[in-house]
Each structure stands twice: as C-alpha cells, then as structure tokens.
C-alpha cells in the first residue's frame, strides 16, 4: 500500500502576487502551508527581487503547470543606466561603469532589434544548468561561467518613461526570456551600462494582476471558507486549449485509462462543433469540469493525463 500524503486534497490555482524578497520556492511552501495542501508547485520562477504574478498550482492542477509555463508573460521593469552588475540586477556587485546616458530617441531606435525570435545569453547568475550544476551556484563559488546563447521570443518591447538615470519598459515575451539580459544587452547597444533596478511580472497566460491575491490577504483568509474561494479552477491553465464535452459513460472510460472511439456520425459531429481536428491535444470535460488531457488521433481519443477530482 502506498504511503498516504500529508495534508488535504486541494485542487486548483492560486494567482499569487509575490512580494519583494520572497523566493519562488518559499512562496510555494507558504501557499501549501496555508491551504494544508498535499501537493504544490509553481509555473515559472520569479527572482526574489521581482514582484508580481507567480501562479501556484495545488493538487491536480500541478498536472497543468507546463501549459502555464509555455504561455506568454508580461513584465514591467526599470533599467538603471551607468552601472553593470555581475547579477544584472540590484543584488550584484558593480563590475563596470559608464557616464553616458541614452536619449529617448536612441532607446526607441534600439528596441526593434529585440522583437521576434532573438538570440540571448542568460545571466551567469541564473538557474541554467552547466554540467548538472546551477549557473548561480558556480558563479557564487567564483568559478568561471560560460553560458551558450539560445533563442527566445519577444512579442513586444515598449519604452514607457525616461528619466535622467533610468527608463521604464513593458515587455511581452515567451518562455525562458531573461529580462536582466535585455537590460544588459540594450545598455551595451546604447553605449552605456545598465541593470534591472525594478521588475514586476504583470501577467502569465490567463493569470494577471487584476485578479491576483497578496500574501497578506491569504493569511487574513486562513482557516476560513473564503480561502478556498480564492482558488481558480484547474481549467484556468487550459484556457487556450480546445475543450471536448464528454458523456457520463465516456468519463468512466477515460478515468480507467481507456481510449474512446468517435467513429459514429454524431460523435464525429461533436468533434467538428468543438473545432477539434485530428492529431491534436485537447482537454475533456464533464459538467464544465476538466476530466483529462487527451490526445486525438483521427477518431481515437486517448487519455494523456487524468485529473483525479
């Protein structure tokens, strides 16, 4: 017999507004403790010096984490000109300086280079693994860190405000994009040095600041029914995936790991009405609740991940 998990069976997403100086791991531990949840995980690390949206999955919602990790993210950030730091943010030591301060026109002229699919070298103080070790651990130990550049996607990068020593930006980007690297590289292009002095993540896929909840509010709700009301359903992470409504007898089959066969005309019509074509991924629902992630191959619907809720 398997060992019983400690805690309660809690399933759903917390649209957490992470405070300054809290690590993503600490945030997950805190939320799991507040809900006394059996299982928890987050969808995309947020640095301790960054604030904002850190979606935290509880229970069966952890099975949908990859869908949130792969979604577009919005960042609001400030670049301070004149210094380069070894961490590319406020935490690091100054390793180079410059007296040059770029003008608004020059900054705006430099932004198109960073739109689309670009090559980017992550900061040496990052979670990238090198020979099985985290880059930041090697950097802190004083070892030489060489990280290969990789392709990232930036949909938009906009300059908001310019001050004497700083400039504010907003960026919509894909998975794996380092905002600190944008500050470092843009400053170099503009003939100066720069680092991130403030960073806030405003959106991760379907999660944004409009419906986010703070740590103070969650602690205030602890031990009340309202705490569970702050949970978002598992389906929130599947907002961009086609949904297939099931019949009751089909639910049991998928839960038992059995494939469904949609060979009749009415079944085929159901797929068409849902906008589902062959060889695609979808999520199956019953009474509006997620039942399973499924792979559709022609008339065959195979369960990929079943939700035990």
From the list 8, 11, 17, 47, the catalytic residue is 47
Strands 133-134 and 129-130: antiparallel
What whole-number distance in Å separates Cα of residue 53 and Cα of residue 42?
A: 11
Distance, CA of 227 to CA of 229 (rounded, Å): 5
189 is catalytic: no
| 8-state DSSP, 88 | S
Placement of tokens 């103080």 in the chain: 125
Give the residue among 16, 79, 17, 28 at the shortest CA–CA distance from 51. 17
Strand 280-286 and strand 116-120: the pairing is: unpaired
- Using the Cα atoms of residue 147, residue 150, residue 153 and residue 158 in order, give the sign of their dihedral: positive
- Catalytic residue list: 47
């Amino acid at each position: 017999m398997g060992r019983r998990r400690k805690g309660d069976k809690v399933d759903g997403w917390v649209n957490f507004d992470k405070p300054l100086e809290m690590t993503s791991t600490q945030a997950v531990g805190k939320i799991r403790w507040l809900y006394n949840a059996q299982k928890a995980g987050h969808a995309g690390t947020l640095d301790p010096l960054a604030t904002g949206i850190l979606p935290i999955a509880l229970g069966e919602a952890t099975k949908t984490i990859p869908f949130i990790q792969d979604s577009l993210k919005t960042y609001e950030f400030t670049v301070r000109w004149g210094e380069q730091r070894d961490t590319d943010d406020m935490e690091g030591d100054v390793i180079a300086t410059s007296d040059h301060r770029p003008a608004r026109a020059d900054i705006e002229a430099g932004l198109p280079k960073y739109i689309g699919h670009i090559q980017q070298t992550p900061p040496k103080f990052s979670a990238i693994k090198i020979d099985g070790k985290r880059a930041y651990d090697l950097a802190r130990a004083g070892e030489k860190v060489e990280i290969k550049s990789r392709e990232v996607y930036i949909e938009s990068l906009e300059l908001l405000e310019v001050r004497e020593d700083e400039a504010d930006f907003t960026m919509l980007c894909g998975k794996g994009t380092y905002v600190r690297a944008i500050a470092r590289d843009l400053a170099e292009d503009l003939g100066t040095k720069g680092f991130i002095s403030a960073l806030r993540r405003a959106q991760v896929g379907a999660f944004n600041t409009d419906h986010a909840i703070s740590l103070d509010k969650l602690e205030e709700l602890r031990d009340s029914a309202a705490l569970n009301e702050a949970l978002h359903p598992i389906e929130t992470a599947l907002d961009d995936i086609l949904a297939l409504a099931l019949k009751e007898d089909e639910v049991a089959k998928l839960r038992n790991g059995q494939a469904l066969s949609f060979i009749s005309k009415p079944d085929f019509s159901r797929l068409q009405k849902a906008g589902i074509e062959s060889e695609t991924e979808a999520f199956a629902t019953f009474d509006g609740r997620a039942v399973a992630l499924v792979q559709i191959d022609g008339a065959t619907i195979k369960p990929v991940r079943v939700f035990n809720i």
